[in-house]
Amino acid sequence: MNVYDFTVKDRSGKDVSLSEYKGKVLLIVNTATGCGFTPHYEPLEAMYKEYKDQGFEILDFPCNQFANQAPGSDDEIHQFCTLKFGTEFPQFAKIDVNGETADPLFAYLATEKPFVSFGKGLKSAALKKFSDMNNKTYGDKAYIKWNFTKFLIGRDGNIVERFEPTTDMDVVKGAVLSQL
């Protein structure tokens, strides 16, 4: 099993088989428009523009399960991202990434590459506190700890690496480059 075995919904509710992305390097991200990490859209879009012609895709999945930081409709979220950050990479329908209603793709990703830590430093310690409070609701199905968790997928459809939102975007970019 790999990511190509999953089907997700686009912003209009139509099924999209991830097998459409076979042979590409993917960065799958759960996002939110009102999060402290929302500025990640800027380096994500820059990476997308720089590497999309080399077979790189970013798949954006808005999620409102973390302090209600993505409250808008799919269209409102898309409009915000395109107007504020100029995003052009594919954005899918808003999903849940935790709990009984978690999207199967994210349950799979997080089970295959479980959370290890947010790293060190004040930002990481603060995020851990908020994450722990938020994720008590989901128990053992708290797959994703916060917005802007990123999964790097190789051209073969297998998970290469998981990046928590506290991971420096230069590290993420370096890992993407290693797959291209």
* 63 carries an active-site annotation: no
Provide the phi-psi class of 56: left if phi over 0, else alpha when psi is between -120 and 50, else beta: beta
Average pLDDT value for residue range 154-180: 97
Residue 17 belongs to domain with CATH number: 3.40.30.10
Query: Which residue intervals of the chain are DSSP H helices?
Result: 41-51, 74-85, 104-112, 122-135, 169-179
Of the listed 8, 32, 35, 169, which one is catalytic? 35
pLDDT tens column, 138-153: 988 999 999 999 999 9
Q: Find how far residue 63's CA is from the centre of its chain.
A: 9
If one counts the domains in the chain, the total is 1
Model pTM score: 0.95
Domain that holds residue 165: 3-179
pLDDT tens column, 11-27: 999 999 999 999 999 99
